[in-house]
Amino acid sequence: MYVMKSGMIVGKYNVKTQVDSLIFYKPTTSTSNFEEKKIMLTTDVIDAEYSKAKDILVYVSGTPSKINMYNDSLGTISSIDLVYPPTCVSVSSDGNTAVVGHDGNITYVDLNKKKIIKSYSVSCYALDIVLGNNKWAYVFPKVDQWENLRCVNLNLSNDNEVLQTGMSIYAGTKGKMHPSGNYIYGADNGLSPSDVEKFSIQNGAASYLYDCAYHGDYPFSGDLWFSEDGSRIFTRGKTVLKASTIQGQDMIYNGTITLESNSSNIMWLDHSSIKNNIYLISNDGNWNGTNKPYIYVYNSANLVYKSKYALEKYLVGDKFYEATPYFVFCNSKGTRLLVLTKARGSGLENEWAIQKIVE
């Protein structure tokens, strides 16, 4: 199945068919007006997460510096001004709070009251951040080489940063909290072969546990996502792993997702257990390549490709521009996808939009 969602340009066209010396003219028809279905944003998008507990899309913008919340059921966007330019965001499992990373700071936010709870200094540039269910924030450093997670106790006002214990991590590592809330898994960047590692956060400060048993056997390529029940790990390098609380059964190979190009990677992924689907964004396979203007749908049980959605293009004047997707999320009921896209090469002042796809 291939679903087109882009619009058409207004106009009238004559269609003719020639058979030998005879020419038959069909009546002139008009195409329908181009209907802008996207929700155009007045900000850029730095990072985004989705709360399935609240069905709210949360994204941070740098121009201007805000944390923004899109409520799909109401069709409204609300924002909170940030003191510092954001670099990343993480939303709590219950959808009530979020934490925003900055260069040398983090900001703790109440999403219900739409206000900043407190800002804290942190001793690194926050490339990625994870908000635990224990009111701790875990900051992944962007720069230097061998580093440690910064673990910030949000229950305290001062002297609340400690370093992760155990083996160091490599700067540039990205992390996600396991759905259980007890662990963080990280995917390193800048190392060959790429690896996945696990941390316990059950005692507050993160403790390095162990890394994946494979070293070069399968590609992981620097990012990861979980199935909703936490039983599987999907990596940027298309490798799928099992997750377990038992080390010997944890991060064990569980298949590969086949993309249109062998050189392509998964750039973002979301799982819907209700639909039994994986929704993903892939790139064109080139070095620093562009994300393809589609959302790909796979059966989450057997990893078999099912379909793809073409994204609505951007109409500027009389020319269409491709929509480049960066984030895709499925709502809790499995009835709608929300996609954050940017107009590729359009020159628009406001290039970002939210696109909706009905499942």
pLDDT tens by residue, 84-107: 999 999 999 999 999 999 999 999
Count up the domains in the chain and report the number: 1
Q: What pLDDT, on a 0 to 100 scale, did the predictor assign at position 3?
A: 42
Q: What pLDDT, on a 0 to 100 scale, did the predictor assign at position 231?
A: 98
Q: What pLDDT, on a 0 to 100 scale, did the predictor assign at position 4?
A: 42
Residue 300 has pLDDT above 60, yes or no: yes
List for the chain the helix, strand, coil content (%; round to 5).
0, 50, 50
**Mean pLDDT score, 8-20:** 42
Residue 141 has pLDDT above 60, yes or no: yes
Residue 23 has pLDDT above 70, yes or no: no
15 domain-assigned? no
Q: What pLDDT, on a 0 to 100 scale, did the predictor assign at position 36?
A: 87
Q: What pLDDT, on a 0 to 100 scale, did the predictor assign at position 264?
A: 97
d(CA 176, CA 89): 11
Residue 11 has pLDDT above 70, yes or no: no
CATH number at residue 79: 2.130.10.10
pTM: 0.90
Q: Is the dihedral of CA 82, 54, 230, 262 positive or negative?
A: negative
Angle at 215 between CA 214 and CA 220, to 5 degrees: 80
80 domain-assigned? yes
Residue 140 has pLDDT above 50, yes or no: yes
273 domain-assigned? yes
Q: What pLDDT, on a 0 to 100 scale, did the predictor assign at position 272?
A: 98
6 domain-assigned? no
Q: Would you place residue 138 in the very low, low, confident or very high pLDDT band (cuts 50, 70, 90)?
A: very high
89 domain-assigned? yes
52 domain-assigned? yes
298 domain-assigned? yes
Contact between residue 300 and residue 276 where contact means Cβ atoms under 8 Å apart: yes
254 is written with which tokens? 């569980």
Q: What pLDDT, on a 0 to 100 scale, did the predictor assign at position 285?
A: 86
Q: What pLDDT, on a 0 to 100 scale, did the predictor assign at position 305?
A: 98
251 is written with which tokens? 């991060």
Q: Would you place residue 287 in the very low, low, confident or very high pLDDT band (cuts 50, 70, 90)?
A: confident
Q: What pLDDT, on a 0 to 100 scale, did the predictor assign at position 5?
A: 40
Q: What pLDDT, on a 0 to 100 scale, did the predictor assign at position 13?
A: 42
229 alpha-carbon distance from chain centroid: 18
27 domain-assigned? no
**Mean pLDDT score, 165-169:** 98
The boundaries of the domain holding residue 106 are: 38-358
Residue 2: how many CA atoms within 13 Å on its side-chain side?
1
Residue 168 has pLDDT above 90, yes or no: yes
**Percent of the chain surpassing pLDDT 90:** 87
Q: What pLDDT, on a 0 to 100 scale, did the predictor assign at position 344?
A: 86
Contact between residue 139 and residue 126 where contact means Cβ atoms under 8 Å apart: yes
Q: What pLDDT, on a 0 to 100 scale, did the predictor assign at position 107?
A: 98
Residue 10 has pLDDT above 80, yes or no: no
Q: What pLDDT, on a 0 to 100 scale, did the predictor assign at position 162?
A: 98
